Amino acid sequence: MAAKRKTRSSKVKRALKDRTKGAQSSQYDIHPKVLSSKIERRKIDTSGLIKGRVIAVEARTYLVETIEADSGDNLYTSVPSRSIMTENSDESLLAVGDIVWLRVDRSNEIEGAGETLAIIVLVEERKTKLARRAAGRGDMEQVIGANVDQLIIVMSVDEPRYKKGLIDRYLVAAQSGNIDSVICINKIDLGDEAEVRRDLRTYTEMLDIPLVCISATQEYNIDKFSGLIADKTSVLSGPSGAGKSTIINVLFGKDIQITADQKKSARKGQHITTFARMFKLPFGGYILDTPGIREFGIWDVKKEELAQYFDEFNRYTEGCKFTGCTHTHEPDCAVKAAIANGEIDAGRYDSYLRLLDSL
């Protein structure tokens, strides 16, 4: 099955190359620049267009699944129109989860690939998003998933060990994008679940964030995990090697995502996924698998706003002497007093300071 997907992808790429070669004004030209300013909203005639959801991004093509039942074909390999309209103001023109409108011309069937090339002409406004600062590009945003209900922060008890600092970065990004969060600790068979829960109790007891400890390889607590994602649109994100693709394979009862032998990975993830992909769950809802990340830079959060994303701080800020207190150097800071009294987790405060310094 994997070989078939690879062959089909190659044909699509060749067709795209042939259609765009030497035709600067062609409707198949790839959009030359990611839009950075919001296009003026106006009523757009969508008659004759097909509504769909972007479920995969590979190189410069997008796999779109139709939303309307009477729209004919279910999947379209698509490219953005040169004159594409977007209702979003961020720099990521298209992302997995985006709701888009397509123009389809049956004469544009890709020979031998069994697919029709569609043109994306409109991107609807994103209701929610998980975004980060693009790796290596501090001035650009990368939208990891759009129109999702919740972020599943997938980490492992070992190989590699979970990092609270990274969890904190994810929580800020999720809150900034109006997304709920769930912490999932995989490979619990390699550690002590009670110890993990004690170590992460700040998140569960003080911040009221759901925590589920699972073992995908042992299929331990997979039913509890399924209950958390049923009938919702969830994005899985976390470091390489945490087991995101293994989790998806277990949920579907078959290998639909490629993983590698962790024993040969020198304690580093060897997951082969390089592009985000969304799957429709058999028990309702969608799940979005993403490539493993090494760093997660916060996007679109100002220094003076960061403290607002640490909910436990908000209980004390009114007691600070100065309005707009950063809880760092100011005297008579109620937040620092709460930390000294053990009312706020010192580790979370350290994460706050590191994040503040990185912005």
pLDDT of residue 24: 31
Q: What is the mean pLDDT of each run of 10 residues along the chain (359 residues)?
A: 37 43 33 38 74 88 84 80 85 90 72 68 94 75 93 96 95 95 97 97 96 97 97 94 93 79 42 70 92 78 92 94 94 96 95 92
CA distances for 185 relative to 33, 214, 222, angstroms: 39, 6, 12
- Residue 265 Cα to chain centre, angstroms: 24
pLDDT of residue 48: 86
**Torsion on CA atoms 12, 14, 17, 21, rounded to nearest 10:** -140
pLDDT of residue 296: 81
pLDDT of residue 292: 76
SS (H, E, C) 53-66: EEEEEECCEEEEEE
pLDDT of residue 170: 95
Structural domains in the chain, CATH included, are: 2-123 (2.40.50.140), 157-289 (3.40.50.300), 303-358 (1.10.40.50)
In this structure, is the dihedral angle defined by the CA atoms of residues 346, 292, 307 and 182, taken in order, positive or negative?
negative
pLDDT of residue 72: 54
pTM higher than 0.85, yes or no?
A: no
pLDDT of residue 57: 87
The one-letter amino acid at 242: A
Per-residue model confidence as pLDDT tens digits over 211-258: 999 999 999 999 999 999 999 999 999 998 999 999 999 999 888 877
The per-residue DSSP string of 316-340 comes to TGGGSSSTT--SSS-SS-HHHHHHH
In sequence order, the 6+-apart residues with CB closer than 8 A to the CB of 63 are 54, 55, 56, 57, 75, 76, 77, 78
Residues 246 and 256: beta-carbon distance below 8 Å = no
pLDDT of residue 349: 96
Could you tell me how many residues make up the chain? 359
Residue 204: how many CB atoms within 10 A of its CB?
13
Directed axis angle between helix 244-252 and helix 222-229, to 10°?
90
Going by their DSSP bridges, the two strands 115-123 and 129-133 should be labelled as: unpaired
